[in-house]
Amino acid sequence: MTKRALISVSDKTNIVEFAKGLEKHGFEVISTGGTFTHLKNNGVGCISIEDVTHFPEILEGRVKTLHPKIHGGLLSKRGNELHNKHVAENNIEYIDLVCVNLYPFEATVKKEGVSEEEIIENIDIGGPSMLRSAAKNFNDVAVVTDINDYSKILEELEQGRISYETRRALAIKVFNTTASYDAAIANYFNKKDNLVPEKLTLSYKLQDSLRYGENPHQKAYHYVQDNNESYALQNAVQLHGKEMSYNNIQDASAALDILSEFDETTCVAVKHMNPCGVATGNSVFEAYSRAYEADPVSIFGGIVAVNGKVDKETAEKMHSIFLEIILATDYDEEALEILTKKKNLRIYKLSEKNNNHEQQIKSVRGGILVQDFNDKLEDEYESVTEKIVDETKQKDIEFGLKVVKHVKSNAIVVVKDGQTLGIGAGQMNRVGSCKIALEQAGEKARGAFLASDAFFPMRDSADLAADYGIAAIVQPGGSIRDQESIDACNEKGVAMVFSKIRHFKH
């Protein structure tokens, strides 16, 4: 009995070679529309879908494969007496292989200036239907939706047949593919109409199987969203070094979150998902040097991200210590020559900055939490003390708040002239974070700014800051005991500014 393959693809990469390979192994090829024309023009002796269904394509191609002659040929169980009877009575012929890839819905959504009409026309109906029918009947039908599986199919046919194990694996891939496709459509409409769906379906693509997770006994995988977030690590190009680990990816993502806050030349050093040094500069070398000087101990073994081109002088300074990862907009040829001397150092070239964030998702036991990204920047400040912050120092207020929003709470950052001097992260009480940040800053705290991610519940943090010579404090305010902190600042000649926006971060 002649075997039949139905081919209908939007992406025609390697499809002629695959179809000719199927013909070589005794398959008669059925095809539709543009795929039929493409195959015919390239020497494949296929027959059109209309010759099978005896029904024309209608509704501008919206209906062509939704027909009992197609789905009966896919879904009929070969050994089932009743199915055999129905197939015979209705002159249905079996279809033994389906090769379909879907209309490019996600690519269409991303197109510049695309209309909703065009987006809707790229919602595939017949394709997923054929894929699901073939996948449901994988005992008898092979279903192919991934170009990368063409060669495997032909290799197995060379051995005589497509194995049960392969047919089952291909069917599972189909159900994952159609689920992801439907999720993309649902999420487009949810976002477009600003809906909070009762059932949230997310789709991620496997990027890498990692050596292990946070610890060696944990398995781990890196999945990515297919979106246009250019500052995401998957959109950077790795130029050198060994593969990334679970912890490396988390740290790199944290570094990019901070770096995305700045337009001026900035360097961010991260250790265990907290910044250990952040600084601006007139050059990449100056920015890196100042970020290094902010905490020369913690930067060791850390990650460095810079929104500029690394030159020879900067590379030499980076090369002098142990770093896990360097992320930069670009590198001079001489800089790369220096940095690549370290075999394991991971070096990434970033794509152009883009702050088109999707929602932020965090796993919790039994579910997930979803929230908007914290991309809010303060645009209004209130001076609440007798001493007022000099307008020339406004940049330090903004710099401190940009950094503190990315530090684990309770978070305190001491800054001066676009450089962090001390960072207190993740403490169970705010005064503990103050102590860490101020002790790290030491004498440099005199005349500096102190930024807090949340309000001071008592005056103890304000008193401590004053003792170290802090010139001004910026915090959101909102405590029922705000006046105590204001009074402490007035007593000791410290300026206090309310930003009115909390930046708590777990």
Residues 378-404 as b or e (16 or more Cβ within 10 Å = b)? beebeebbeeebeeeeeebbbbbbbbb
343 is catalytic: no
> What is the spatial distance between Cα 335 and Cα 440, in angstroms, rounded to a whole number?
32
Pick the catalytic residue from 3, 12, 20, 136. 136
> What is the spatial distance between Cα 316 and Cα 80, in angstroms, rounded to a whole number?
73
> What is the spatial distance between Cα 292 and Cα 318, in angstroms, rounded to a whole number?
9
- For residue 291, the SS3 value is helix
Closest by CA to 225, choosing from 201, 195, 192, 258, is: 201
Cα separation values, 372 from 110, 227, 429, Å = 20, 16, 26
Tokens of 100: 């379909």
> What is the spatial distance between Cα 7 and Cα 95, in angstroms, rounded to a whole number?
11
Question: Which distant-in-sequence residues (6+ apart) come within 8 Å of 35 by Cβ?
Answer: 7, 8, 9, 12, 15
Is the alpha carbon torsion for 486, 457, 476, 431 positive or negative?
Answer: positive
Are 254 and 273 in contact by the 8 Å Cβ rule? The answer is yes
Closest by CA to 339, choosing from 363, 314, 359, 364, is: 314
Pick the catalytic residue from 67, 152, 272, 393. 272
By the 10 Å C-beta count (0-12 exposed, 13-18 middle, 19+ buried), 134 is classed as buried
> What is the spatial distance between Cα 236 and Cα 485, in angstroms, rounded to a whole number?
45
272 is catalytic: yes
DSSP secondary structure string, 382-446?
EE-SSS---GGGHHHHHHHHHHHTTSPSS-EEEESSSBEEEEE-S-SSHHHHHHHHHHHHGGGGT
> What is the spatial distance between Cα 67 and Cα 52, in angstroms, rounded to a whole number?
10
Give the E-state strand segments of 196-302 in sequence order.
205-210, 220-224, 237-240, 266-271, 274-280
Indicate which residues carry an active-site annotation: 136, 272
